[in-house]
């Protein structure tokens, strides 16, 4: 029993801040994982619980959660059979996603109207630990954990995620890795399908008297669905190794405690490019890759290690402390300019820039500038959370106090070289001097604390809280001529920020089935690195007062959640990244007042027919995002020129919905899923949408059209331990433009078939 208690406590303080929105019939059957995590109960006399894994959000508490939060369970992941996290996250309202390479390896995710570009405005975690390579110093999430190895996903929005920073305006996403099972168990999966896409995954784990463990190996690879001029691989190969080792005191110990060591090692080689297609070329073949991208490649290596200690020094009080270290190397080498012209200029007017275009497609000889964007990231820190329960009569109290000291760094060392396109082949003619394009180090140190107090009386729960962030930014720019970093041309700058962020939420049960919730909190995003130019205005912090009000209805068959949200920005921040359409300086700039408001609706309904279920799910999001003052934009992702009051903020889709219809019967289930993305503005404005067309230049289009993708997944249990499964992605073979960034129009994955087998033992 002590072992079970300790497992619970490792969860209790790190992740007591959010709850899932489990479907009312969300039981594990077809996933073949049979996880040990269930629910726990607490009262003033004892902790009564079943075994659960640290960091897991417990679904039962979704009924009384203060703020919005939803949980994607292992059952849902197992039924959908989707290694692409974009497809899975779109089943939750309030999440905006821009597709990029079709496999979801580098998601662009925003929440409640925040920027989607490289997930820079949301807090990303794996098992409760910040996972972006450099969350403060360089927040673009060029590394994103392999979703194919995940056990669940927690999504926190509104006042429910104030404890998870630093990005507290939109929300937080916490990916849950494979938990340690309660007894010896294992799982294996093999998948193969279109474009040579394949996955091999195996994990084994056990819980013993004092020692528990789980080890996992996962590989996901593909030849790619893009078609490179003159042939060539356009796929990827990603490998992951993960392990958890846990020691815990014996049952009945006077002071129960445990220590858990976790490690992750990942690597990826991806033949992926930043360069998309012109409109005319997209219409002819949306899956084409230009000859000038034949050398484009991403090299990624990621290591993570953490040590977690949990202790119960006395009754009803637990403390969890975790030290962590993460190292990530990423070099995305790619075509930069062709024949002296930028990629956007060529794509916009191939006729005017005919010679560079002919070089790009390999039909003429000429120079291709090529950039190796090597970046080395590290982050390290220690975080500790304490939680204390007590009752005074009929009033329940829960107090939580957390503190995290975090340091991260981004070492940017980009090199420009020159290739010559010769008869369709690129030949290196000038290797370039290392660091001749970018040569700087970005540092950030943060101390963050929060305190929350949950007071429950009868049907009412009130939860005031406060968060504090103290951040120190420092940048050292050595200049592109000082590759040895002697400091002769060093320019440096620093910025210090201290901010207090209060909030309060409530939840009230109208009846056993109906409840209302709401909250208000001050949200925050750091301003990024200061500029080393004395003439440039420094970016201020991004702050917004966030409001939400929601209604929940839950019974045996129906689960409805309706939430309205309103974010009033004092200062919204723009950015300059190549991945978002900018020049790639990484600079952050002020954009003034803005308002983002919207509505989120989710519904799960079960139709019972004898021994079968017909589950129906629907998620809808409406978002209205507008600037509230006129200003001259500094450039970057929002372009240049004057932005007017009431202009819509680009890349935030007003209408999103997803739906699914399933059939679930004993050993077999099938689910048909639909994802609709409405027309999306790509430039600020209020005028009529100008969609891509053969009469519209690339730089003149201000939006991309709507599209809908249909997927089908089926699972069949051949034995108690074995399941055969298949997925059909994009079953209508939709060829819509799903993105115009980076550098050109991009398609979704075409029709694809995958099949495989899952075995538990």
CATH superfamily of 2-760: TonB-dependent receptor, beta-barrel domain (2.40.170.20)
Chain segment 628-680, per-residue pLDDT in tens: 999 988 777 788 889 999 999 999 999 999 999 999 998 999 999 999 999 99
Structural tokens at position 251: 């049952």
* pLDDT(279) > 90: yes
> Mean pLDDT over residues 282-308, rounded?
98
User: Residue ranges per domain, the chain?
Assistant: 2-760
Euclidean distance between CA atoms 290 and 275, whole angstroms:
8
> Mean pLDDT over residues 340-365, rounded?
96
Rounded alpha-carbon distances, angstroms, from residue 377 to 444, 469, 608, 615 = 12, 22, 52, 44
Confidence of residue 64 (pLDDT cuts 50, 70, 90): low
Radius of gyration of the chain from its Cα atoms, rounded to whole angstroms: 25
Chain segment 360-418, per-residue pLDDT in tens: 999 999 999 999 999 999 999 999 999 999 999 999 999 999 999 999 999 999 999 99
Euclidean distance between CA atoms 761 and 188, whole angstroms:
8
Task: Tell the burial category of 547 from Cβ atoms under 10 Å away from its Cβ (0-12, 13-18, 19+).
Answer: middle
Confidence of residue 130 (pLDDT cuts 50, 70, 90): very high
Euclidean distance between CA atoms 42 and 16, whole angstroms:
12
The residue written with tokens 């208000």 in the block is 520
Chain segment 170-190, per-residue pLDDT in tens: 999 999 999 999 999 999 999
526 in Cβ contact with 514 (< 8 Å): no
- Please state whether 186 falls in left (phi above 0), alpha (psi between -120 and 50) or beta: beta
Euclidean distance between CA atoms 201 and 428, whole angstroms:
39
- 3-state DSSP helix/strand/coil percent for the chain, to nearest 5? 10, 55, 35
* pLDDT(54) > 70: no
Peptide bond before 462: cis, by omega within 30 degrees of 0? no
Please, what is the average pLDDT of the chain? 90
Give the pLDDT score at 28. 36
Peptide bond before 742: cis, by omega within 30 degrees of 0? yes
Euclidean distance between CA atoms 582 and 614, whole angstroms:
47
416 in Cβ contact with 370 (< 8 Å): yes
Pairing of strands 68-72, 236-248: unpaired
Rounded alpha-carbon distances, angstroms, from residue 257 to 7, 66, 182, 308 = 9, 29, 17, 11
Which residues 6+ apart lie within 8 Å of 585 measured at CB? 576, 636
* Nearest residue to 631 (alpha-carbon basis) of 590, 586, 597, 685: 590
* pLDDT(38) > 70: no
């Amino acid at each position: 029993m002590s072992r079970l208690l300790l497992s619970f406590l490792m969860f209790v303080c790190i992740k007591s801040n959010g709850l899932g929105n489990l479907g009312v019939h969300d039981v594990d059957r077809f996933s073949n994982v049979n996880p040990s995590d269930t629910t726990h109960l607490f009262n003033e006399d004892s902790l009564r619980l079943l075994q659960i894994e640290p960091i897991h959000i417990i679904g039962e508490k979704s009924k009384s959660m203060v703020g919005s939060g939803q949980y994607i369970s292992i059952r849902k992941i197992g039924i959908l059979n989707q290694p692409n996290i974009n497809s899975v996250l779109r089943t939750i309202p309030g999440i905006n996603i821009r597709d990029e390479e079709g496999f979801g390896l580098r998601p662009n995710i925003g929440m409640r109207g925040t920027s989607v570009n490289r997930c820079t405005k949301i807090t990303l975690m794996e098992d409760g630990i910040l996972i972006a390579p450099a969350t403060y110093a360089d927040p673009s999430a060029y590394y994103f954990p392999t979703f194919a190895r995940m056990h669940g996903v927690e999504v926190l929005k509104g006042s429910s995620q104030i404890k998870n920073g630093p990005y507290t305006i939109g929300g937080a996403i916490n990916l849950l890795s494979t938990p340690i099972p309660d007894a010896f168990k294992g799982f294996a999966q093999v998948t193969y399908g279109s474009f040579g896409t394949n996955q091999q995954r195996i994990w084994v784990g056990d819980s013993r008297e004092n020692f528990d463990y789980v080890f996992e190996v996962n590989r996901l690879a593909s030849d790619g669905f893009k078609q490179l001029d003159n042939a060539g691989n356009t796929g990827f190969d990603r490998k992951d190794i993960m392990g958890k080792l846990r020691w815990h005191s014996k049952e009945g110990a006077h002071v129960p405690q445990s220590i858990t060591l976790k490690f992750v090692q990942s690597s990826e080689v991806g033949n992926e490019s930043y360069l998309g297609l012109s409109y005319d070329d997209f219409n002819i073949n949306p899956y084409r890759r230009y000859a000038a991208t034949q050398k484009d490649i991403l090299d990624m290596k990621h290591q993570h290690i953490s040590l977690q200690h949990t202790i119960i020094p006395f009754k009803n009080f637990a403390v969890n402390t975790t030290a962590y270290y993460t190292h990530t190397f990423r070099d995305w080498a790619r075509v930069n300019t062709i024949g002296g012209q930028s990629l956007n200029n060529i794509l916009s007017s191939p006729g005017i820039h005919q010679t560079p275009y002919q070089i790009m497609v390999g039909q003429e000889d000429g120079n291709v500038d090529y950039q190796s964007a090597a970046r080395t990231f590290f982050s390290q820190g220690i975080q500790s959370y304490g939680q204390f329960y007590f009752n005074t009569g009929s009033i329940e109290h829960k107090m939580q106090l957390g503190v995290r000291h975090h340091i991260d760094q981004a070492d940017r060392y980009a090199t420009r070289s020159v290739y010559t396109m010769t008869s369709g082949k690129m030949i290196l003619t000038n290797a370039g001097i290392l660091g001749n394009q970018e040569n700087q180090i970005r540092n950030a140190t943060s101390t963050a604390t929060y305190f929350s107090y949950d007071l429950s009386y009868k049907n009412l729960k009130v939860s005031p809280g406060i968060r504090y962030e103290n951040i120190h930014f420092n940048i050292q720019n050595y200049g592109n001529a000082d590759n040895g970093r002697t400091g002769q041309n060093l320019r440096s700058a620093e910025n210090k920020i201290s901010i207090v962020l209060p909030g309060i939420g409530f939840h009230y049960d109208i009846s056993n089935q109906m409840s209302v919730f709401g909250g208000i909190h001050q949200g925050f995003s750091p301003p990024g690195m200061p500029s080393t130019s004395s003439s440039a205005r420094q970016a201020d912090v991004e702050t917004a007062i966030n409001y939400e009000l929601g209604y929940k209805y839950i019974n045996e068959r129906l689960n409805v959640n309706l939430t309205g949200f309103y974010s009033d920005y004092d200062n919204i921040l723009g950015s300059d990244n190549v991945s978002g359409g900018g020049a790639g300086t990484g600079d952050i700039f002020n954009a003034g007042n803005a308002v983002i408001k919207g509505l989120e609706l989710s519904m799960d309904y079960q139709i019972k027919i004898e021994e079968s279920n017909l589950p129906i799910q629907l998620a809808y999001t409406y978002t209205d995002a507008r600037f509230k003052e006129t200003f001259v934009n500094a450039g970057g992702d929002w372009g240049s020129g004057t932005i007017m009051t009431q202009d819509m903020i680009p890349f935030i889709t007003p209408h999103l919905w997803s739906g699914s219809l399933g059939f679930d019967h004993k050993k077999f289930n099938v689910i048909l899923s639909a994802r609709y993305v409405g027309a999306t503005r790509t430039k600020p404005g209020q005028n009529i949408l100008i969609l891509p067309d053969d009469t519209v230049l690339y730089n003149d289009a201000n939006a991309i059209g709507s599209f809908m993708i249909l997927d089908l997944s089926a699972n069949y249990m051949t034995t108690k331990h074995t399941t055969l499964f298949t997925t059909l992605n994009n079953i209508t073979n939709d060829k819509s433009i799903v993105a115009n960034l980076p550098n050109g129009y991009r398609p979704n994955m075409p029709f694809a078939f995958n099949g495989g087998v899952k075995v538990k033992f």
